[in-house]
């Protein structure tokens, strides 16, 4: 059965085939007997188990995570609304990152060519 885990750390954590990126993730339930460290992470609030997809989707950091969580309850209007908003925010971040990368590339090329803009 799939569960929503929210990784509150700034690094990915791997439990067998389950990779928890920072933010919300929908993965197969992690067996605490097989991976006892999951309990420690949960006790320390480094990882949360969410039963509220509409809230969890707001913390997703990838388009795929948003889509996966939104698909758990396709008729849930609040979830779908929150998923749309989060995808919009992620699209904006992606566009800003691409613009910054293009600007940096242009600046680097200008420096290499000995021209300043």
Confidence of residue 117 (pLDDT cuts 50, 70, 90): low
7 domain-assigned: yes
Flag whether pLDDT at 96 surpasses 90.
Answer: yes
117 domain-assigned: no
Domain count for the chain, please give it. 1
Flag whether pLDDT at 68 surpasses 60.
Answer: yes
34 domain-assigned: yes
Strand 13-15 relative to strand 47-50, pairing: unpaired
36 domain-assigned: yes
Domain containing 29: what range? 2-112
Element (H, E) at 79: helix 77-112
Burial (0-12, 13-18, 19+ Cβ within 10 Å), 16: exposed
51 domain-assigned: yes
């Amino acid at each position: 059965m799939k569960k929503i885990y929210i990784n509150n750390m700034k690094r990915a954590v791997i439990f067998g085939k389950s990779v928890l990126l920072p933010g919300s993730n929908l993965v197969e339930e992690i067996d605490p007997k097989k991976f006892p460290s999951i309990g420690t992470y949960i006790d320390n609030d480094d990882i949360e188990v969410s039963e509220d997809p509409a809230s969890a989707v707001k913390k997703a950091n990838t388009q795929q995570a948003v889509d996966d969580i939104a698909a758990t309850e396709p008729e849930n209007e609040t979830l779908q609304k929150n998923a749309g908003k989060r995808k919009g925010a992620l699209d904006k971040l992606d566009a800003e990152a691409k613009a910054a990368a293009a600007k940096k590339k242009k600046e680097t090329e200008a420096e290499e060519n000995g021209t300043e803009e």
